[in-house]
Amino acid sequence: MRTDPTFWLLARAAGLTAYVLLTGSVLAGLVIRLRVLARVVRQAAVVDVHRFLALTGLGMIALHGVTLVLDRTVRMPIVALLVPGLSPYRPVAVTWGVIAAVLFVLIVVSFPLRRVIRTRNWRRLHRTTYAVFVLGTIHGLLAGTDSSQQWAFGLYLGAVGSVAFAAAYRVLSLRSPNRVLA
């Protein structure tokens, strides 16, 4: 008797989609205050896109986890998605994904709490998004069954390259005497 691959395929698709949405959210967050974009689009619109991508990414992470639990290929226990190190499948790689997911939840939950936790603390928490991105990348490369495929490796390479470029641009523009940030 053959097992149905539906949940396995959904888990892979949801994981990759979550990574793409996370990448988009990080990029939107990096360019929110760039004056170069102010000529093209309002800052509030970029903030809305940033939040939408983050919330949708969070939903895809949840779908990724649910479909892994429902799948019979890997047999992932629910507790392994909540507690780092308990996964029977590639435990170290999955641990990075679990940590990234937990941090991502904290960051997304902090959006409406910005005034309550104060802007300074909110920004500190928000900076952990870089760690979420790095851990998500490591998780995808080491746990993803498609990572050895050229298209998937290209996806990761493009994501890392674009985030690195946008982050460098933002940092350099902050130091520039002709600042391009608001």
List the chain residues with pLDDT less than 50: 1, 180-182
Alpha-carbon span 25 to 49, nearest angstrom: 8
- Give the other-Cβ count within 10 Å of 104's Cβ: 24
pLDDT of residue 41: 73
Quick one: pLDDT at residue 180?
47
What is each CA distance from 25 to 5, 20, 52, 129, 146, in whole angstroms?
A: 30, 9, 8, 10, 23
